[in-house]
Amino acid sequence: MYLALRICSEQLGELYSVKAGGTLSFIKKVNSDNFDIKIDPIKAIIISPTLHFWKSVDYEKDLTIEKKSFIFSDDAISELDQIYFTSVNSSSDMNSVTQAWIRRDKLSEIFKIWNIKKSVPTYPEALLRNRGNEVVWIRSHETLLAYEKNKLSADILKNNIKDEIQTNISNLDITVDTKFNIPKIERRRLLTPSLILFGVILLVFNIYSYNFSYENNKYLIQTSKVQTVLGSLSKVFSEFLPGSIKEISIHDGGKNARITILDEKFEIEKIKKQLSKKYFIELKTDNLLKILILNEKVLEND
């Protein structure tokens, strides 16, 4: 069992437990101001149908050949590089081919508001699956959706019905093959400018130490330590939000480093796991700033 967050709007959401088979069960309502992923460590995100698009057509085998391609380009008002989309889902038995998509800038805005990383698997609500025998009716804001048994996607209803209407998505199922495809390489691209900066700094130190090592062997040793601490930081750079590093200062020839971070929610657990063998690590707070401090551990053979 794990936790999932249903994002109903930029500010409102709902927390669910998810059973082994993917079945959702409502826990509580949350909002972007009081939600903390460290307290509620979600493993999945479900995006409200008011925030994404989807379409279903009759089954055609040609549409299912390239499951990772976007087959509804004529229906999307955005260019292909401006959207994330799911794999093509199809069923010849249900005579259906379906796919969902969302604008990249909209999803980025949502993740920023909720302080969530894009690495969390994200699903379109309209492609949740109903495994029960009865139709499930769900109202999402002003939109009324019908989830029929095993149907690949929900249908939008224009008229009200007399049957019971849910306002949450309990008893629907997440299916793994309906998540939005968010390339890992794109997440790395967010880090590229900062990593290039580290590379340039390392290159400068390499050149400088090479030119002057014959004059001052002690300086070469100190420069090597600077390279080491910069290399260590580059290993954990994915833990910093893009643009959050305000200043990096290195002291005592590379034995100590201070990284000033403009991120109130910054934590150091993952950094400790990777770097605690070599450094004493602590985190201080100065008004809105966080200061990460690395102090090199003195080994017996140093």
- For residues 144 and 233, give the distance between their C-alpha atoms in angstroms, rounded to a whole number: 49
Least confident piece of the model among 48-62, 92-106, 280-294: 280-294
Domains of the chain, first to last: 2-182 (3.30.420), 190-296 (no CATH)
What residue has token string 């306002």?
Answer: 167
**What pLDDT shows up at residue 160?**
74
Least confident piece of the model among 55-64, 189-198, 275-284: 189-198
Within 58-214, where are the H helices? 104-114, 184-189, 192-212
For residue 59, is pLDDT > 70?
A: yes
Token reading at 33: 């101001």
Which helix (H) or strand (E) is 231 found in, with range? helix 217-235
For residue 246, is pLDDT > 90?
A: no
* Close Cβ partners of 216 (under 8 Å, ≥ 6 residues apart): none
**What pLDDT shows up at residue 205?**
47
pLDDT digits (tens, 9 = 90+) for 145-194: 999 999 999 998 877 777 789 999 999 999 999 999 988 654 444 444 55
Is the CB of residue 218 less than 8 Å from the CB of residue 253?
no
